[in-house]
Structures are given as C-alpha cells and as structure tokens.
Amino acid sequence: MFYVKAKKILLSLGLAVVMSVSVCAAKANIWQYNPNIAIDMNSAKVTTENGMTILTFQTTETFGESTDQCTYVYNVDEQTIQLKELVSKIGKKKFKQQFYPQSIADGNDVVKGRAHMATLVLQKVQYK
C-alpha cells in the first residue's frame, strides 16, 4: 500500500516538473547564434531616439570557463555598435565593464562580426 502511494506521489511530482519546464521553455525565446553565443530574442527591442533606429538586445556568451552576459546597442542610422554592458563570470569572480560605441566601418573584425549579428537580430525582430 505504501509503495503504491509513494509511486503515485513520485509520478505526480515528475509530471509537475515536466509541466513547469515546458512552461519555462515556452516563455524563453533563445536563438543559438553560434556554439558560443545565445541571443535572448525577448530582450531585442527596436526604438527610435532622436530620429535614429536603435536596436538593443542581450546575449549569453561562453568561452572556456568564462560566461559573459552582454547588452548590445546597435545604431542602425549611424552604423555603430556598442557593447553597453559586459558582465563576465569566471569561476566565482565577476567583472563588469562598459564600452563606447564603435564605428562599424572603422571597426576591427570583432566589431564587424558583432554588427553582422545585430543586423540578423534586427531582421528577426522586424519580420516576426
């Protein structure tokens, strides 16, 4: 008798966990841009500031033991990309940095790569 009740309780708990995981997964809208970069598409917002189109979005970037939470700002009209906030976690240490907007035309390969990523995010946001 006890075994049957324990089995029913465990089955109920298992179903509750499965249901809660599926609800959480439905709310998350993560685009795996590449093996190291996941983009939170729910964070992607297009606004107009001073007549210019601005895209902001957040990523989680993993490289080795480092995990970075990044907030990007892409100015479509001025063709700049900014890593507005970078929170790096390496082991138990956490670092926070901010960067100025960089010109895409004058930028290095990393800047151009991030701008390309931002362009693809913008396309996904505009064509939802």
Per residue in 80-128, pLDDT tens? 999 999 999 999 999 999 999 999 999 999 999 999 999 999 999 998 7
Helix and strand numbers, DSSP H then E, in the chain: 2, 7
At CA 56, angle to CA 21 and CA 107, rounded to 5?
125
Q: For residue 55, count CB atoms less than 10 angstroms from its CB and return exposed for 0-12, middle for 13-18, buried for 19 or more.
A: buried
C-alpha distances out from residue 7 to 16, 20, 77, 103, Å: 14, 20, 61, 62
Q: Of the ranges 18-27, 58-67, 81-90, 111-120, which one carries the lowest mean pLDDT score?
A: 18-27
Record the pTM: 0.77
Domain coordinates of the chain in residue numbers?
30-127
